[in-house]
């Protein structure tokens, strides 16, 4: 077994902290060797499959934030091995306090040198899922110092309803940031060391600064859901798009177990 599969020692209070804050940052989750091996393939695929050709100045705020390529696990057996890794899957299930997790989808988020901020948002706005037991592992493929745009989290914001209807935009950045300040929620936008991985709930508000460095900020993300999650009727066009891309054929009110949603980890 490699560090991709071995259990990670979460420590005594990590699950309680995650329950309270809606996010957690964990050190030494993946080794430099593992990140280098799989990271090379993730970055290679991201650059070869990316369709964005416009210069940064001609793009919207969303499109300046990162190059985004989804479901790399389907494109490369090597990335498939990474996404099905048992260490991250088990961490997702333990933090969610569920018996098993399935894949919702993966995505590579590559903030180019000079790339803009990632506006404040909560991911679950995009997802037609009937459970709040959803979680994203944010896995930097190199260290992320403050000037490269580390992901930042509002502690406890998973309990805030305001802003859940806002997609990533200048409006979400302005209104959610203002509302988080009104609630006085602490914002953790600390750097990530190599090997450090964060996990956040689908309803936790988060954002990232611009990449002011001359190096790309390459990050792989894996989105897991409780293995018993069912499909909801979609609320908007972006949710319809998500349903069709990430769980084609799933039926409203039934457990989402299409070929695109393999069980990654389950207890026992």
Ligand X SMILES: O=C(O)CCC(=O)C(=O)O
Site residues (CB under 6 A) for ligand X? 65-66, 109, 111, 118, 123, 136, 138, 151, 206, 208, 219, 221
Residue closer to ligand X, measured from CB, 160 or 208: 208
Contact 131, 217 (CB under 8 A): no
Residue closer to ligand X, measured from CB, 136 or 261: 136
Residue closer to ligand X, measured from CB, 138 or 154: 138
Question: What SS3 state is found at 34?
Answer: helix
CB 202, min distance to ligand X, A: 9
Contacts of 173 (CB under 8 A, 6+ apart): 61, 117, 119, 120, 207
Q: How many helices and strands, by DSSP H and E, does the chain display?
A: 7, 11
CB 10, min distance to ligand X, A: 21
Contacts of 60 (CB under 8 A, 6+ apart): none
CB 210, min distance to ligand X, A: 10
Residue closer to ligand X, measured from CB, 111 or 243: 111
CB 149, min distance to ligand X, A: 6
Instruction: Give the strand order in the sheet containing 206-208.
Output: 118-121, 206-208, 151-154, 187-188
CB 208, min distance to ligand X, A: 4
CB 136, min distance to ligand X, A: 5
Residue closer to ligand X, measured from CB, 151 or 264: 151
Contact 218, 43 (CB under 8 A): yes
CB 227, min distance to ligand X, A: 21
Contact 188, 74 (CB under 8 A): no
DSSP letter at 27 equals: S
Q: Which of 101, 130, 120, 107 is nearest to 234 (CA)?
A: 130
Contact 218, 195 (CB under 8 A): no
Residue closer to ligand X, measured from CB, 6 or 50: 50
Residue closer to ligand X, measured from CB, 8 or 205: 205
DSSP letter at 43 equals: H
């Amino acid at each position: 077994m490699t560090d991709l599969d071995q259990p990670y020692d979460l420590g005594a209070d990590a699950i309680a902290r995650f329950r309270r804050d809606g996010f957690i940052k964990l050190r030494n989750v993946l080794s430099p060797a593992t990140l280098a091996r799989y990271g090379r393939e993730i970055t290679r695929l991201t650059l070869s499959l990316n369709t964005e050709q416009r210069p940064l100045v001609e793009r919207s705020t969303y499109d300046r934030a990162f190059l985004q390529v989804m479901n790399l696990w389907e494109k490369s057996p090597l990335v498939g091995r990474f996404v099905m890794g048992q260490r991250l899957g088990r961490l997702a299930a333990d933090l969610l306090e569920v018996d098993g997790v399935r894949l919702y989808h993966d995505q590579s988020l590559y903030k180019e040198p000079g790339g803009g901020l990632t506006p404040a948002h909560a991911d679950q706005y995009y997802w037609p899922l009937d459970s709040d037991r959803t979680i994203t592992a944010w896995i930097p493929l190199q260290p992320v110092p403050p000037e490269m745009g580390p992901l930042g989290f509002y502690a406890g914001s998973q309990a805030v309803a305001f802003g859940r209807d806002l997609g990533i935009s200048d409006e979400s950045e302005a209104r959610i940031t203002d509302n988080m300040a009104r609630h006085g929620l602490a914002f953790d936008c600390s750097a990530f060391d190599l090997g450090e991985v964060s996990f956040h709930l689908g309803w936790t508000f988060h954002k990232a600064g611009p990449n002011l460095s001359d190096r790309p900020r390459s990050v792989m993300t894996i989105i897991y859901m409780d293995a018993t999650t069912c499909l909801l009727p979609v609320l908007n066009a972006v949710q319809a798009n998500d349903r069709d891309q990430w769980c084609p054929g799933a039926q409203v009110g039934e457990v989402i177990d299409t070929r695109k949603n393999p069980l990654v980890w389950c207890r026992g």
